[in-house]
Amino acid sequence: MSKVHVLDHPLIQHKLSIMRNKETGAKEFRELLEEISMLMVYEVTRDLPTEEVEVETPICKTRTRMLSGKKIAIVPILRAGLGMVDGVTKLIPAARIGHIGLYRDPITLQPVEYYCKLPDDSENRELIVLDPMLATGGSASAAISFIKQRNCKSIRLVNLIAAPEGIKRIQHDHPDVDIFVAALDEKLNEHGYIVPGLGDAGDRLFGTK
Ligand code: PRP
Ligand code: URA
């Protein structure tokens, strides 16, 4: 069963509260999403393997540790996942970036795919899927299914806010995928929006409403 990690560091909680405020404009919303994504990825990657290497400091030779194991690819779900990319790549600059374009049909709430381009060697990488909102879980579940079709085995999902319905959906469809969230909210409303949530993440990020 997927583990759910709630990354509720005080800095993350503070920044997320400003994002939730409906008076916060697109510029500040974008900056905060980038900052929180950077703080989150620090914890998301806590268990990455390291290996001992030799380094010569200005003083002497020493043995110290560096990342080893699989390289990383991040996969934002368009559009809103794009807002998390810069924060993550600030800490993992060598990460490859795949893109999956999905939008949620406003009536059926079913994900509709319009784009998918993943790095060629995705199956040899640790995949980190990014999307600020996990509502019904339909979009994230579909994105993870596309990724699995490419034989990728090691996948983590990172969301800013999740509803219990979305968590259940991922745990059911993809029990091998761990989920990292900044906040676990109460429920979905009748339109499939997270309550209390922050509204439509894509629209707030890109100022389209
Ligand atoms: C939002 C959000 C997720 C999805 C979550 O995207 O960014 O991808 O909804 O809902 P779900 O868990 O019920 O699938 P949206 O469809 O609004 O597209 P956008 O990012 O292009 O605005
Ligand atoms: N997508 C969003 O952007 N916000 C929600 O609350 C639910 C889905």
**Rounded to the nearest whole angstrom, what is the distance from the C-alpha of residue 53 to the centroid of ligand 1?**
43
Active site residue 62: no
* Structure confidence by residue, pLDDT tens digits, 89-100: 999 999 999 999
Residue nearest to atom 8 of ligand 1 (CA): 139
> What average pLDDT does range 127-143 have in this prediction?
97
pLDDT reported for residue 21: 98
Residue 209 has pLDDT above 90, yes or no: no
Active site residue 45: no
Residue 87 has pLDDT above 90, yes or no: yes
User: Is the pTM above the cut of 0.75?
Assistant: yes
Backbone phi, psi, residue 3, to 5°: -85, 145
Q: Count of residues for the chain? A: 209
**Rounded to the nearest whole angstrom, what is the distance from the C-alpha of residue 51 to the centroid of ligand 1?**
38
CA distance 163 to 112: 20
162 lines ligand 2 (CB under 6 A): no
Mutate to test the pocket of ligand 2, among 159, 161, 194, 205 (most ligand atoms within 8 A of CB): 194
How does residue 75 score in pLDDT terms, banded at 50, 70 and 90?
Answer: very high
Peptide bond into 10 cis (omega under 30): no
Q: How much is the mean pLDDT over the chain? A: 96
Cβ 144 vs Cβ 97: under 8 Å = no
How does residue 27 score in pLDDT terms, banded at 50, 70 and 90?
Answer: very high
> What average pLDDT does range 38-63 have in this prediction?
97
**Which carries the bigger pLDDT value, residue 102 or residue 21?**
21
129 lines ligand 1 (CB under 6 A): no
pLDDT reported for residue 56: 98
pLDDT reported for residue 69: 83
CA distance 48 to 95: 14
**Rounded to the nearest whole angstrom, what is the distance from the C-alpha of residue 29 to the centroid of ligand 2?**
15
Q: Which ligand is nearest to the CA of 83?
A: 1
Residue 31 has pLDDT above 90, yes or no: yes
| Catalytic hit among 65, 108, 176, 208 | 108
pLDDT reported for residue 103: 87
Residue nearest to atom 2 of ligand 2 (CA): 200
160 lines ligand 2 (CB under 6 A): no
Residue 104 has pLDDT above 90, yes or no: no
Tokens of 161: 């806010």
